Amino acid sequence: MAGSGVFAEIIDGDVFNYYADGEWKKSSSGKSVSIINPTTRKVQYKVQACTQEEVNKVMEMAKVAQKAWAKTPLWKRAELLHKAAAILKEHKAPIGECLVKEIAKPAKDSVTEVVRSGDLVSYCAEEGVRLLGQGSFLVSDSFPGNERTKYCLTSKVPLGVVLAIPPFNYPVNLAVSKIGPALIAGNSLVLKPPTQGAVACLHMVHCFHLAGFPKGLINCITGKGSEIGDFLTMHPGVNCISFTGGDTGIAISKKAGMIPLQMELGGKDACIVLEDADLDLVASNIIKGGFSYSGQRCTAVKVVLVMESVADTLVEKVKAKVAKLTVGPPEDNCDITPVVSESSANFIEGLVNDAKQKGATFCQEYKRDGNLIWPLLLDNVRPDMRIAWEEPFGPVLPVIRIGSIEEGIHHCNASNFGLQGCVFTKDINKAMLISDAMETGTVQINSAPARGPDHFPFQGLKDSGIGSQGITNSINMMTKVKSTVINLPTPSYTMG
């Protein structure tokens, strides 16, 4: 159960504490933030509402701790990360339970998220040891006008304090995807969890605490975005921001100082289906890609662009599979579970109503009970409908029938998003040409979009983000290159 056993010290009364200077603390605000269970729509947990003064203290501690951590040998950093990964996996059940209660993720997927996170942390340790264990060596005479009088040695050094802000849909996994790279690279961390998912995040942080990381190196601040959000992201003590979430990221990037930013801000991933595609494969991937975790993934298939000649057949196949999706509470491992909040459900309903007014074909009857929305496939969607462009982040998927491949590519590229996309065809030449033409960070050929495996590069173009993630890229992003140049009195040539 949440907050019990080894996790007993992270809760005080009925409010979960925040984590700073290696200790679990109560905020001086005396206030808490409630976390609503999306299924029951009742208060499930409470977390501390931290103050700006507490943020200041945490930043100071993180700065001091980072200086010592940067001097900790790489193998030792890796050893602690491996330990944290093992503890995390050992406690997959209570952390998974938090995910079920806070974000209504199906029980099985909740546990998978924790295990995947442990694996990610271990991989960061392995990759960091190799990547940061080497630098480069340059000689000056390759540039015109120079003799070999200069040797340049480069290495990667930490940035300092990394501010990590994960989203509600992967509060554990997308937190450790920032924590792991930051720590192995010698940075300290201030983590600001999303409100929904904060308690799972706090449990995950306790696993790092139990692993024995130095005091002040990892800190986790909870509270209201209105009180500490801008204060954190604009704080002069922050040396890097890694954010995953919605368009708040655009506002953050406008306000942040001259620091490296890593942003992943959603998508409208298109699934382009050609005439020669294996339609059974497409249908399975549309179900997996469009409806897993009720469509609340930035990499979900969010619009199907299918050639008119195969559209009827494909829609029938998808309809048959939608009919088999189970709908209900996450505890029962249903395929479709309540979306994260009432406002989210209202937003999705707004998109559905707009599509209805403008004449989309409803393949199922629209049904909603509280935050639970039944899976819905909308056929014959046209570009004048909001759902053709906006991301519902829910179990509602539009199908647009296209007359040519160019039409599909045009729709995909007209989006303000550019995260991933996919193309289904048996013709690899066409697939490659379409992939090249799609303005997205990744194109999957014959499979639904997905971020993993977690060492693959992961990036969005346009409003989908800044920078590239994936373990290797994140480690690189959370370091800067430092050069030392040795100037020789006379040219020196090898064996010369």
Q: Which residues bind ligand G3H (CB under 6 A)?
A: 169-170, 297-299, 450-452
Which one, 54 or 102, has the nearer CB to ligand G3H? 102
What's the closest the beta carbon of residue 468 comes to ligand G3H, in angstroms?
A: 13
Shortest Cβ 82–ligand G3H spacing (Å): 23
Q: Give the residue numbers annotated as catalytic, written as ranges.
A: 264
Q: 263 vs 409, which CB is nearer to ligand G3H?
A: 263
CB nearer to ligand G3H: give 97 or 113.
113
**Shortest spacing between CB 174 and ligand G3H, in angstroms:** 6
Residue 126 beta carbon to ligand G3H: minimum distance, rounded to whole angstroms: 20
- The CB-of-170 to ligand G3H minimum distance in angstroms stands at 6
Kindly state the smallest distance separating residue 451's Cβ from ligand G3H, in Å. 4
Nearer to ligand G3H, 213 or 293 (CB): 293
Peptide bond into 453 cis (omega under 30): yes
Give the nearer residue to ligand G3H in terms of CB position, either 453 or 491.
453
Complex with ligand G3H: residue 160 or 245, whichever CB lies closer: 245
Q: Residue 383 or 453: which CB sits closer to ligand G3H?
A: 453
Q: How many CB atoms lie within 10 A of CB 324?
A: 8
CB of 41 to ligand G3H, least distance (A): 23
Residue 151 dihedral angles phi and psi, to the nearest 5°: -110, 125
What are the φ/ψ torsions at residue 78 (nearest 5 degrees)?
Answer: -65, -40
Q: Taking the complex as a whole, how short is the minimal distance between the CB of residue 88 and ligand G3H, in angstroms?
A: 17
Going by C-alpha positions, the residue among 40, 50, 46 that lies closest to residue 20 is: 50
**Which CB sits closer to ligand G3H, 89 or 451?**
451
Q: Using CA atoms, how far apart are residues 21 and 40, in angstroms rounded to an integer?
A: 35
Residues 6+ apart with CB under 8 A from 286: 271, 301, 304, 318, 321, 397, 448
Q: What angle do CA 379, 383, 386 make, to 5 degrees?
A: 85
CB of 244 to ligand G3H, least distance (A): 6
Question: Other CB atoms closer than 10 Å to residue 225's CB: what's the count?
Answer: 16
Residue 169 or 242 with smaller CB distance to ligand G3H: 169
Interatomic CA distance for residues 28 and 377, integer angstroms = 49
